[in-house]
Chains A and B, each alone.
Chain A
């Protein structure tokens, strides 16, 4: 694939730009995997604890948002890298 890209590009700058775009897209996709699993775990456990003890739902919800916020930071850093790498 890279040979084909290199043949059709007019200069070395274009290959670099294309590779940077591919890297940005792949990087964001990879960065979203872990936080996706993590947020799923956080929310799933919060729901099951809310279902077991509905009277503690308020406290669990606050803690759940905190956990989501901490986990989500990784995905957002991936998003920032995606924007920075975009040619």
Chain B
């Protein structure tokens, strides 16, 4: 069924999963889509259950998870980058952080072991949503001419240098930002998945070769696999955090020009 990672899939299935249901239609569902459904459901469950619970002074269980997540986003993302008037973006940033985190962390969950964000579709979609939001916020808080003036002609630059600065700012603000946002998340997940697959295949092949291969697998590749699994947990959380904080930085830059 090509869903659970119980045995090594063929190499061309590393990223390209075959459809499971509705094959041939645009609504075909494969493992990646199922992981995305799972992360949406888990994110909604956490905040839905925490919101339905009766408020208690000492949070426990799911309420604790939700409260510490919201607190983390508020203190280390929103207050550091946008400031107090960025509180209205809290729901967007928090749900985005948890959605990216849950679809990244499947990279190391046994029997799933596939980071859904190593397919380009969802990083691009999220980056385009972020692009629309920060442009909309900039136009609404500064007016369309003020926003274009502040982002294309940054103040405090000698007049002559605008010949160089304005094209650079145009490209970097409106083209490179969403591109690099999507590429960063996607490429980190692809690289992590390739690393884990390489060391897993290496360990299994050495172990299967018998004799001196047992020692090679035990000493060299298997500890590396464990180390890399820990490292990939760090990378998954860090990439979700970086995506969220860059979104907040872009929104903050559109809201308050020239700090």
Say whether chain A's binding surface is mostly helix, strand, loop, or mixed.
helix
- Interface size class of chain A, counting residues whose CB lies under 8 Å from the partner chain: 10 to 19
Contacts of B188 in A (CB 8 A): 76
* B77 CB contacts on chain A under 8 angstroms: 62
Closest Cβ–Cβ distance, residue B181 to chain A (whole Å): 9
- Segment with Cβ contacts to B, from A2-10, A17-25, A38-46, A66-74: A66-74
Chain A: minimal CB distance from B56 (Å): 28
Q: Is A80 positioned at the interface, with any CB of B under 8 Å from its CB? A: yes
Q: Is the interface of B mostly helix, strand, loop or mixed?
A: helix
Answer yes or no: B201 CB below 8 A from chain A CBs.
Answer: no
B241's nearest neighbour on chain A, judged by CB, is A65
Are B80 and A69 within 8 A (Cβ)?
no
8 Å CB interface, B182-208 against A: 183-184, 187-188, 190-191
B246:A69 contact, CB within 8 angstroms? yes
Q: How distant is B199 from chain A, measured CB to nearest CB, in Å?
A: 18
Candidates B190, B245, B249; contact of A83 at CB < 8 Å: B190
- Would A58 and B76 be within 8 Å (CB), given that A65-B238, A73-B180, A73-B184 are in contact? yes
**Interface 1/0 per residue, A76-87 and B, CB below 8 Å:** 110110010000
**Are the C-beta atoms of A80 and B187 separated by less than 8 Å?**
yes
Tell me the chain A residues, 24-46 only, with Cβ under 8 Å from chain B.
Answer: none
Chain B nearest CB, measured from A70 CB (Å): 8
B242 lies within 8 A of chain A by Cβ: yes
**Are A66 and B249 touching (Cβ within 8 A)?**
yes
* A1 on interface, CB distance cutoff 8 Å: no
Q: How close is A56's CB to chain B, nearest CB, in angstroms?
A: 12
**Whole-angstrom CA separation of A58 from B75 in the bound complex:** 10
Which B positions have Cβ atoms within 8 angstroms of A? 76-77, 80-81, 180, 183-184, 187-188, 190-191, 238, 241-242, 245-246, 249
The 5 listed contacts between A and B (C-beta, < 8 Å) are A59-B80, A65-B245, A66-B242, A69-B242, A76-B184
